[in-house]
Amino acid sequence: MQSSSTNNKNSKAQQARRRFLQKLGLLGAAADSYTLLELQAKTTASAASGDKRWGLLIDTSKCASGCDACVRGCNTEHGIDASDSDLTRAQWIRKIDLKDKLTGKESSLPVMCQHCDSAPCVDVCPTGASFKRADGVVLVNKHTCIGCRYCMMACPYKARSFIHENLTEQKPSAPRGKGTVESCTLCVHRIDSEQDMQPACAVACTDEAHSAIVFGDLNDPDSNISRQLQSAGGSQIRSDLQLNTGVRYHGL
């Protein structure tokens, strides 16, 4: 099931683990009298691989104005409370309704982190907490985020939220807390864990029978998303900035 390259990654991770254990052995006082229980066997998931590039294709012709299923799906998945002020609450996805200046054509679409290839937020982050994973997902490492909000200044899409209040009752799978910046993670906790898991927004959209959000590997020419991009095309928001976004829009 796994491609050879992910196996490669896997064994690399295991090597790293072995090194780590060696280090532990050196460091730990009398560590040889202890054993970590079969640690080697426990690497169950492989590291994010550079062979993949996760992305979304959003078909605006299928996206309905007034429908915010994706937003709700995202909020539920990550335990985001949508009842606070629009100004200060986290909005990983927001729905925008548009009207063309020339033709008057109306459209509606969700905007979230566009997972840029050359992401301005990653460039400006002083501590390197904003980073791009090998598989193209742009994340905040909240363990090193100091909450300076420079990335929010830099983001052309206004896709990031700062947590303005103490939070309680977070989901175990989605740690979030005051004083750090966050944004769409493409549901890494889902897509990493299991084959064929989709981000919550895509699932919610499909459940609503719109199927306007397609998730997949942009590097795999046979993936659903790549085939749809091939046939129907997809543009980037603010393509003038040449950020090579991982989120593409059809019918914009």
Partner 1 sequence: MCPERAFGLWAILWLLLASGLGHASDEGPIIPPASFGDQCVADTEIMRKQHMSLLNHQRDETVIEGVRGNPFSLVGCVNCHAQKDDNGQAIRIDAEGQFCESCHAYAAVKIDCFSCHAALPEEGFGNTHEVIGLNTPVIAPLAAADPAKHFSHQQRQVLQSHRVAAGPHNQLRGNAALKNIISTHTTEHQRPVNSDTR
Partner 2 sequence: MSNPTTYFQPVRTWSGNYLIWMFALVLLVLAGGYCAYHMEHEGHHITGMNNSVVWGLPHVFAISLILAASGALNGATLSSVFGNKLYTPYARLSVVLSVCLLVGGLIVLVLDLGRPDRLAVAMTTYNFRSIFSWNIFLYTGFIAIGVIYLATMLERSLQRFNRPVGALALLWRIVLTSGTGSIFGFLVGRSALDSAILAPLFIALSLVMGSAALALVIPWVSRWQHSSVSLHHAPPTRQSMMKLLLWCVLAVLYFSAVHHVTNLYIAEHRQDEHNVLQGAFAGVFWLGHIAIIATGLVFLQTLRHSGELSSTAWHLLCAVLLIACAMILYTVIIGSQSTPQLLFPDKIITASSFGDAGVPAYRPTSWEWGFGMGGIALSLLLLGLVLRVLPISPTSQS
User: Residue 40's binding partner, choosing from ligand HEC, partner 2, partner 1, none, with beta-carbon cut-off 5 to 8 A by kind?
Assistant: none
Stretch that binds partner 2, among 38-46, 103-111, 207-215, 218-226 (CB under 8 A): 103-111
How far is residue 54's CA from residue 27's CA, in Å, rounded to a whole number?
38
Any contact of residue 208 with partner 1 (CB under 8 A)? no
How far apart CA 185 and CA 20 sit, in angstroms, is 28
Pairing of strands 213-217, 247-250: unpaired
Query: C-alpha angle 202/206/211, rounded to 5°?
Result: 85
Contact string 32-71 vs partner 1 (x = CB under 8 A) = --xxxxxx-xxxxxxxx-----------------------
3-class SS string, 6-33 = HHHHHHHHHHHHHHHHHHHHHHCCCHHH
Please state, in angstroms and rounded to a whole number, the distance separating the CA atoms of residues 142 and 181: 7
Contact status: 127 vs partner 2 (CB under 8 A) = yes
In the complex with partner 2, which residue's Cβ is closer, 183 or 198?
183
CB of 142 to ligand HEC, least distance (A): 4
Q: Which residues contact 172 (CB under 8 A, 6 or more apart)?
A: none
The three-state secondary structure class of 202 is helix
Q: State the nearest-atom distance from the C-beta of 86 to partner 2, in Å.
A: 5
Sole binder of partner 1 in the list 78, 95, 115, 133 (CB under 8 A): 133
Q: 42 CB contacts (<8 Å, ≥6 apart)?
A: none
* Alpha-carbon span 81 to 194, nearest angstrom: 27
Torsion of CA 68, 189, 183, 236, to 10 degrees: -70
Nearer to ligand HEC, 89 or 189 (CB): 189
Q: Does 142 bind ligand HEC (CB under 6 A)?
A: yes
* 3 state SS of 249: strand
Which residues within the stretch 174-193 sit at the binding site for ligand HEC (CB under 6 A)?
A: 175, 177, 180, 188-189
* Between 36 and 134, CB nearer to partner 2: 134
**Which position among 5, 61, 88, 173 is part of the footprint of partner 2 (CB under 8 A)?**
88
Residue 208, number of CB atoms within 10 A of its CB:
16
Considering only 32, 33, 101, 143, the residue that binds ligand HEC (CB under 6 A) is 143
144 binds partner 1 (CB under 8 A): yes
Q: Could you say whether residue 143 binds partner 1 (CB under 8 A)? A: yes
By CB under 6 A, name the binding residues for ligand HEC: 142-143, 173, 175, 177, 180, 188-189
Binding site for partner 2 (CB under 8 A): 65, 85-91, 94-102, 106-107, 111, 120, 122-128, 144-150, 152-158, 160-166, 178-181, 237-238, 241, 252
